[in-house]
Amino acid sequence: MDKLHQTLMRYFGHGTFKSGQEDIIRSVLHQKDTVAMLPTGGGKSLCYQIPGYMTDGLVLIISPLLSLMEDQVERMKMRGEKRVAALNSTLTFQERRHIIRHLPSYKFLFVAPEALMSEMLLEQLKSMRIGLFVVDEAHCISEWGHDFRPEYSKLGEWREALGHPVALALTATATKQTLKDTVQTLRLQQPDFHIHSVNRPNIALVKEVHETKEAKEKRAIELVDFLQGPGIIYCPTRQMTEELALYMKQKTNQRVEFYHGGMDAGDRMLIQQQFISDQLDLICCTSAFGMGIDKANIRFVIHMSPPQSIEAFMQEIGRAGRDGKNSVSILLYTEEDAEIQQHLIQADGFDDPEIDFYLAQLTQMQINDEKKLRERLMETGLQETRARMLTHYYMMHESEQRPAILKNLKEKLQDRQTEKLRKVWQFKERIMDHNCFRQSLLSYFHEQIDQTERASSDDCCSSCGLNLSDYEKKEQSLELNEMKHWKTVLDRMFHLTKEAQH
């Protein structure tokens, strides 16, 4: 057994790697900038943890969501790794300062991209050896991608400030344009590419057309009663998550909660943990629920309408079947769904008076601190995501004269809206197509279905005659009851033993 496999066995207890992992890790160990696309559940975190254990220096992991990094840190600590921390907005100033002052004692540091704007952190990192610069969810780099994070656009600049450490960019879904943007933004030098299929053969794909929203809701009730869980239902609006969760509680015997970005952070974390620990059967949520949800046994994902892009859809259905077992994705749609998404995109845009108003707010401050400028816009009532986008585009042109800034802002915002609308209609075309739904989706990523794989599978998609009865709810087995029984007995024994000790 070579050193790489010894490390895998020592820290993770596995004798073999998942598909693609070993090649990615060897590329990083050979000091090559690396871009890797592995499907959801493909084990991306192992690709930076193993090199971390085998090389000197800090592993710096840039992660876009609090839930994502908190989940990773918690799992590493449960495995016995104590040299790991996360820097994000949930920490107090004293907690952040403590971590920064003690950075040399850490091996793995997770940071939100905006945390790198801190001079205190950046100066401390400059004084250390950065063994690996990891960008998780790297598709957030592309402004044309489905999940753009403006702060990601500065990662190349920050990487250079840290001495140009070896970079590893990881994602589950990316088009050729997104991969190109990743290389340019991170300023990668002749990177190795390890691009694996976005296809998840163990997830069957179903699409159903319905006449009305009410018909879709009725069908969702039928599916939840019928399908083996646990499951996720994605909704296009926050209001719908709450209404549908209440409807599900009334009409089914499922343990259901809703989740969206407008909720208190503590409530979101509680619901997420309840779902992961099998205290909930079903989550009705917006796209805010997903990244970092490492729950292996999700059996179905239902979409109450198509998301705004194929990339987002593939990312979201990838929550299912991470254990490799058969799972199903069901897309419910009406002819009007694309128009609803179009309306949401247009409502999220800016009209000319709004741009004039917010530009005046930005120019009056006469500073180039992006965080402070964004906070100023949010003080006027602008929603955070829109404030991030507007501030980002402003900072790209802030050295120009006001008329030029105004012109460029309007052009950038219009181009972004046009691109988002184009993706909505691209998705609709594939939904309305009567050919194989899986192949239609894969073609967007310039992929073809493996014909040997198709020939050996009866679980492709509804266009290919999929039978949903294979995913029907199963009766609880005697073995499972017995397992629960013995667990209860052991818990009681442990409790009695503790009492006897006191």
pLDDT at 427 over 90: yes
pLDDT at 159 over 50: yes
Averaged over 115-136, what is the pLDDT? 88
Q: Are 378 and 387 in contact (CB under 8 A)?
A: yes
Integer-rounded Cα Rg, in Å, for the chain is 24
So where are the chain's domains? Answer: 3-195, 203-334+433-471, 342-422
Q: What is the pLDDT of residue 39?
A: 79
**pLDDT over 70, % of the chain:** 90
Q: What is the pLDDT of residue 367?
A: 80
Among 289-298, 371-380, 485-494, the least confident range: 485-494
pLDDT at 393 over 80: yes
Q: How far apart are CA 407 and CA 411, in angstroms?
A: 6
Average pLDDT, the chain: 85
DSSP string, 366-411: ----HHHHHHHHHHTT--HHHHHHHHHHHHHHTTS-HHHHHHHHHH
Averaged over 157-166, what is the pLDDT? 92
Q: Which of the four pLDDT bands, split at 50, 70 and 90, describes residue 11?
A: confident
Averaged over 341-354, what is the pLDDT? 87
Q: What is the pLDDT of residue 454?
A: 57
The segment with the largest mean pLDDT, out of 108-117, 319-328, 479-488, is: 319-328
pLDDT at 118 over 90: no
Averaged over 98-103, what is the pLDDT? 88
CA separation, residue 347 to residues 306, 342, 407 (Å): 18, 9, 20
Averaged over 345-367, what is the pLDDT? 87
pLDDT at 363 over 90: no
Residue 449, classified by CB atoms within 10 Å of its CB into exposed (0-12), middle (13-18) or buried (19+), is middle
Q: Which of the four pLDDT bands, split at 50, 70 and 90, describes residue 94?
A: confident
pTM for the whole structure: 0.81
Q: What superfamily does domain 203-334+433-471 belong to in CATH?
A: P-loop containing nucleotide triphosphate hydrolases (3.40.50.300)
Fold agreement between 3-195 and 203-334+433-471: yes
- The percent of the chain in helix, strand and coil, each rounded to the nearest 5, is 55, 15, 35
Q: How far apart are CA 201 and CA 41, in angstroms?
A: 13
Quick count: other Cβ atoms within 10 Å of Cβ 447? 15
The tokens describing 193, both together, are 């590419």
pLDDT at 490 over 70: no
Nearest 5 degrees, angle CA 199-CA 204-CA 207?
105
In eight-state DSSP terms, residue 475 is P
pLDDT at 213 over 50: yes
> Span 3-195: which CATH code?
3.40.50.300
Averaged over 303-328, what is the pLDDT? 91
CA separation, residue 210 to residues 329, 339, 344 (Å): 16, 15, 21
pLDDT at 277 over 80: yes
